Amino acid sequence: MMEIAHHTNHLRWFEMGRIEYFRRCGISLWDMMQEGIVFPITKVSCEYKEVARFDDVLRVELTVASLSRAQCTFTYRIIRDSDNALICTGETQNVFTAKETGKIIRLPDIFFKPMKAVAEEE
């Protein structure tokens, strides 16, 4: 059924939520990558509640469930605006790694402090 959004789109919407979170922190993911830091997902879960259809206006609610200098866990709720239906819930665990080596690193203050400040506001 073409009018129903494919289930993999939900993970893209999670990603959009993460990008918006970093914007709220005043952090550009491009700047992190230029500093040699990448942020891969090590774990993901998604529980589907309702279908999302093409042309639905959706919002992604993201919460920082845990944050350390080495990793961050986000939880998500995707809501359809027209009726406030809960489309899905989910969680990702991301680790901060060195782009060159792929090894886990400690996030520098320039990135960690604003992330922590925004997470504490929520």
Question: For the segment 42-76, what is each residue's pLDDT rounded down to a tens digit?
Answer: 999 999 999 999 999 999 999 999 999 999 999 99
Structural domains of the chain, with CATH? 9-121 (3.10.129.10)
pLDDT surpasses 70 at 3: yes
- 3-class DSSP state of 38: strand
Q: Each residue of 94-117: pLDDT tens digit?
A: 999 999 999 999 999 999 999 999
Q: Is the pTM here over 0.95, yes or no?
A: no
Say if residues 71 and 93 touch (Cβ distance below 8 Å): yes
What does the alpha-carbon distance between residue 97 and residue 51 come to, in Å, rounded to a whole number? 35
Report, in this order, helix, strand and coil percent for the chain, each rounded to 5: 30, 40, 35
Tokens of 9: 């789109």
pLDDT surpasses 70 at 2: no
Tokens of 55: 């042309």
